[in-house]
Amino acid sequence: MAQAEDLVPHLPERIAGLGIIASNLWWSWNREARRLFRDIDDILWHQTRHNAVEFLQRADPARLVECAGNAQLVTRYERALAELRHALTREGTWFRARYPEQARATIAYFCAEFGLHNSVPIYSGGLGVLAGDHCKACSDLGVPLVGVGLLYQLGYFDQRIRPDGWQESSDDPINPATVPIVPVLDPSGSPYLVEILTGGRTLHVGAWRLHAGSIPIYLLDTNLEKNHPEDRTVSQRLYSGGPEMRLRQEWVLGVGGVRLLRRLDISVGAWHANEGHATFMLIERLREHIAQGASFADAVNRVRNVSIFTTHTPVAAGHDVFSRDQIQACAGPLWESMGMPREQFFRLGRSPGGDPGQFHMTAAAIRLSGYANGVSSLHGEETRRIWQGLWPKRDASNVPIRHVTNGVHLATWMANPVMELLDAHLGPDWGSCLDDPTSWDRVLTIDEAALWNVHLGLKQRLLGYIREDARRRWRSQEHEPGQLVSGGILLGMGALTIGFARRFATYKRADLMFRDPDRLRRLLVNPRRPVQLIFAGKAHPADEQGKRVLQRVFSFARDPSFEGRVAFLEDHEMHLEHRLVQSVDLWLNVPRVPMEASGTSGMKAAINGVPQLGTLDGWWAEGFTGWNGWAIPRSPADRADELDAGHLYTLLEGEIVPMFFDRDDRGVPLNWVERMRQAMREAGQRFTARSMVQRYVREYYLPILGGEEPPGDPPDG
Ligand SMILES: *Cc1c(COP(=O)(O)O)cnc(C)c1O
């Protein structure tokens, strides 16, 4: 089978294993490995946006030879390689130590997007990054998980903003030669692994494999020669095209994914559908059981007993729904192959109180999963309320849907200088005490000036990054002068810097701050206590309203009366996200309650000591303690925008800005730094991917692998 390290050209003997390191995304959350690449050539490292494969391909051979002769660097390289090899064995991990009897189990995790690293652009936002963080935490903990997704060769779209603020999309196709993925071939070397029927034709599906530490992720691909030209484009781009295209992608993901795992002889003990895009994984297994002779009821039970479904959507309108005709056009008369009447099949996807002509992916997933959960406490509640109709004899509080609050992968999102600070204050082995909540209490004793200085260093780095990016765009004549200002070149170190970076879905209200532009302007351009705002994010290409919100924010970034204190950074992805969450002073998160299932960017900021200002939605409804940031109280839904904006200004004017500028004689804002420490402690204790995955293991994966009956009765509505 092809090996990912073959992607990397010949390297000097002494450091040849760098190719092995670069070909497993494990390097991206290993400090030592990250530092190796940077030390080899920091300019090229920056230019390749931390793409380790491309970096080694482009590195100067003479420099590599020089590095191979540097004893200190070679020692560190050897340590990193040994650590990677050890990680692949899963020896000594949390899961192995506690559940040795499950060492040979496999949990399959299906998701339409995976956000593992910016060099593999097959994600659009929070859902994908969460899936990526889930896999990384599984690798750290030794949880035997296998990911299944799609390889979108055109990725998600790249964003350009016209001078008038309108978002345009462009494509930057993935070049598989610079991404640590390898084609999966059958023993005869053929890329045609499985077949599925769609649109009355046979569709051949191939796959690529990627490694996040010990976790393999299989990415399905329909761009194979034998396929009909139309079918080749099915896996081309994430979340694009109309509902028919989306349905086909989900069909490939679910059915193709199950067949691929069978083909590879991977014996799966627990099946996790992450969001309704993966529902066909459950349906395909239902079909398998029926084909093997099970009755419908028995097949449903068997699928339910070993399946978990996680929903991420808090509003009814946000779920995937397809018409019967669309389903039939994509999947054919699939009920026939399942030996059931058409009506019975469509009853699986009926949403209580909804249009009976529609197949509801979430309803079907809940019916076919013995375990279902939302992704924050509030979202769990909302989900029980939305789906109460599936259990008409129960009231909402007794609906058997629970929650596991999302978390973020610490080693991915915490900046190196913050980790070094923790080394110095908590001891170099703090990373191995993460499960002890009291170890996080010691964050509260970190010296104020030390933490503040680390933060200032990161802020400086962000402003440098923004300036260099502007320089590049100026040189390549991508931007006219006004766009340099909107791109942030007038941002300064002294101002309180507020960050907002997420998809421009309208419920996230990127423009809430601008509701009263005059009041905002007074806040921003105050020469003694200046405030600046940095925005980034993509609107879905079909979301005209989202694009209008973006345009409105952009117009303030260009408005001279705001003196360059509002910036919009183009093309938000994980690389930019890192820089922002690690470096701004305050994170802003103002979704319209209760539309944000969880939200994770604020957690990433918090582990770097960046407090959040937000509405009490998603994770913040349970994460806000009164000390780790600021909260906008809940307002009646019909006046939420007006009241929330009012609270936002009042908090900034009355409390946040004064606290930020209240300095001791060393220039340290003591009260502010206390909030920073509290933010870190709270997020470290309660909102890491590590503790999230431990909960999935204890509450879902283990009961399933142990053959327990699901706790709740099946839906009867
Ligand atoms: C973490 C992350 C998000 C999630 O943002 P929220 O709005 O806080 O959920 C979106 N996009 C990218 C690139 C991310 O890294």
Rounded distance between C-alpha atoms, residue 671 and residue 714, angstroms: 51
Number of domains in the chain: 3
Cα 644 to Cα 314, 598, 617, 632, distances in angstroms: 20, 19, 12, 6
Rounded distance between C-alpha atoms, residue 134 and residue 673, angstroms: 30
Q: Specify whether 432 is located in the same domain as 580.
A: yes
Return the half-sphere exposure (C-beta side, CA atoms, 13 A cut-off) of residue 352.
Answer: 14
Q: Which residues of 422-450 are buried (b: 16+ CB within 10 A; e: fewer)?
A: beeebeeebbeebeeeebbeebeebebee
Task: Tell the residue number behind the tokens 């802003």, with chain if given.
Answer: 588
* Closest residue CA from atom 9 of ligand 1: 599
3-state secondary structure of 413: helix
- Does 371 map to a domain? yes
Cα 361 to Cα 286, 504, 601, distances in angstroms: 15, 24, 27
Mean pLDDT of the chain: 95
Domain of 624 in residue numbering reads as: 411-688
Burial class (CB in 10 A: 0-12, 13-18, 19+), 624: buried
Q: Specify whether 115 is located in the same domain as 253.
A: yes
**Which residue type sits at 49?**
R
Measure 561 CA to ligand 1 centroid, in angstroms: 30
Q: Is pLDDT above 60 for 1?
A: no
* Closest residue CA from atom 7 of ligand 1: 502
Could you identify the atom of ligand 1 that is nearest to the CA of residue 591? 7
- With bands split at pLDDT 50, 70 and 90, how would you rate the model's confidence at 2? low
pLDDT digits (tens, 9 = 90+) for 78-122: 999 999 999 999 999 999 999 999 999 999 999 999 999 999 999
Q: Is pLDDT above 90 for 624?
A: yes
Q: Specify whether 402 is located in the same domain as 447.
A: no
Rounded distance between C-alpha atoms, residue 344 and residue 346, angstroms: 6
Measure 569 CA to ligand 1 centroid, in angstroms: 15
Strands 201-212 and 194-198: antiparallel
- Does 334 map to a domain? no
Could you identify the atom of ligand 1 that is nearest to the CA of residue 576? 13
Q: Which residues pair with 558 in a beta bridge?
A: none
Measure 602 CA to ligand 1 centroid, in angstroms: 9
Measure 590 CA to ligand 1 centroid, in angstroms: 13
Measure 692 CA to ligand 1 centroid, in angstroms: 17
Task: Kindly state the tokens that stand for 465.
Answer: 């990054």
Q: Considering only CA atoms, which of 270, 233, 269 is closest in space to residue 252?
A: 233
Q: Specify whether 541 is located in the same domain as 565.
A: yes
- Does 143 map to a domain? yes
Measure 127 CA to ligand 1 centroid, in angstroms: 8
* Closest residue CA from atom 4 of ligand 1: 126
Q: Specify whether 218 is located in the same domain as 248.
A: yes
**Which residue type sits at 154?**
L
Rounded distance between C-alpha atoms, residue 632 and residue 641, angstroms: 11
Q: Specify whether 395 is located in the same domain as 418.
A: no
* Closest residue CA from atom 1 of ligand 1: 601
Q: Specify whether 372 is located in the same domain as 435.
A: no
**Which residue type sits at 262?**
R
Q: Is pLDDT above 80 for 704?
A: yes
* Closest residue CA from atom 2 of ligand 1: 126
- Does 384 map to a domain? yes
- Does 444 map to a domain? yes
User: Using an 8 Å Cβ cutoff, are 272 and 699 in contact?
Assistant: no
Could you identify the atom of ligand 1 that is nearest to the CA of residue 589? 8
User: Using an 8 Å Cβ cutoff, are 596 and 588 in contact?
Assistant: no
For range 703-712, the mean pLDDT: 94
Rounded distance between C-alpha atoms, residue 475 and residue 290, angstroms: 63
pLDDT digits (tens, 9 = 90+) for 627-638: 999 999 999 999
Q: Is pLDDT above 80 for 9?
A: no
Which pLDDT belongs to residue 532?
A: 98
Which pLDDT belongs to residue 356?
A: 86
What size, in residues, is the chain? 717
What would the 3-class secondary structure string for 571-605 be? CCCHHHHHHHHHHCCEEEECCCCCCCCCCCHHHHH
Q: Specify whether 438 is located in the same domain as 552.
A: yes
- With bands split at pLDDT 50, 70 and 90, how would you rate the model's confidence at 717? confident
Of 66, 89, 112, which residue constitutes the final position of a domain? 89
Cα 37 to Cα 19, 45, 212, 318, 556, distances in angstroms: 11, 7, 18, 42, 39
Rounded distance between C-alpha atoms, residue 188 and residue 222, angstroms: 19
Could you identify the atom of ligand 1 that is nearest to the CA of residue 508? 7
Q: Specify whether 442 is located in the same domain as 496.
A: yes
Record the pTM.
0.97
- With bands split at pLDDT 50, 70 and 90, how would you rate the model's confidence at 363? very high
Q: Specify whether 208 is located in the same domain as 272.
A: yes
Q: Is pLDDT above 80 for 316?
A: no
Task: Tell the residue number behind the tokens 């509801």, with chain if given.
Answer: 360
Measure 398 CA to ligand 1 centroid, in angstroms: 32
Measure 646 CA to ligand 1 centroid, in angstroms: 25
pLDDT digits (tens, 9 = 90+) for 501-545: 999 999 999 999 999 999 999 999 999 999 999 999 999 999 999
- Does 700 map to a domain? yes
Per-state percent for the chain, helix, strand, coil, to nearest 5:
50, 15, 35
User: Using an 8 Å Cβ cutoff, are 399 and 387 in contact?
Assistant: yes
Could you identify the atom of ligand 1 that is nearest to the CA of residue 600? 8
For range 210-217, the mean pLDDT: 98
Q: Which CATH number goes with the domain that contains 375?
A: 3.40.50.2000
* Closest residue CA from atom 12 of ligand 1: 125
pLDDT digits (tens, 9 = 90+) for 643-656: 999 999 999 999 99
pLDDT digits (tens, 9 = 90+) for 233-287: 999 999 888 899 999 999 999 999 999 999 999 999 999 999 999 999 999 999 9
pLDDT digits (tens, 9 = 90+) for 652-677: 999 999 999 999 999 999 999 999 99
Task: Kindly state the tokens that stand for 221.
Answer: 């691909």
3-state secondary structure of 478: coil
- With bands split at pLDDT 50, 70 and 90, how would you rate the model's confidence at 353? confident
3-state secondary structure of 218: strand
Measure 532 CA to ligand 1 centroid, in angstroms: 21
Which pLDDT belongs to residue 694?
A: 98
Residues with CB under 6 A from ligand 1: 125-126, 129, 502, 572-574, 577, 599-602, 604
Of 89, 120, 148, which residue constitutes the final position of a domain? 89
Of 31, 63, 89, which residue constitutes the final position of a domain? 89
Q: Specify whether 139 is located in the same domain as 48.
A: no
- Does 275 map to a domain? yes
Rounded distance between C-alpha atoms, residue 18 and residue 33, angstroms: 9
Q: Specify whether 316 is located in the same domain as 188.
A: yes
Neighbour tally for 642: CB within 10 Å: 11
* Ligand 1 site-directed mutation target among 116, 119, 405, 503, most atoms within 8 Å of CB: 503
Rounded distance between C-alpha atoms, residue 426 and residue 439, angstroms: 8
Q: Considering only CA atoms, which of 666, 681, 688 is closest in space to residue 445?
A: 681
**Which residue type sits at 58?**
R
Q: Is pLDDT above 80 for 492?
A: yes
For range 388-401, the mean pLDDT: 96
- Does 496 map to a domain? yes
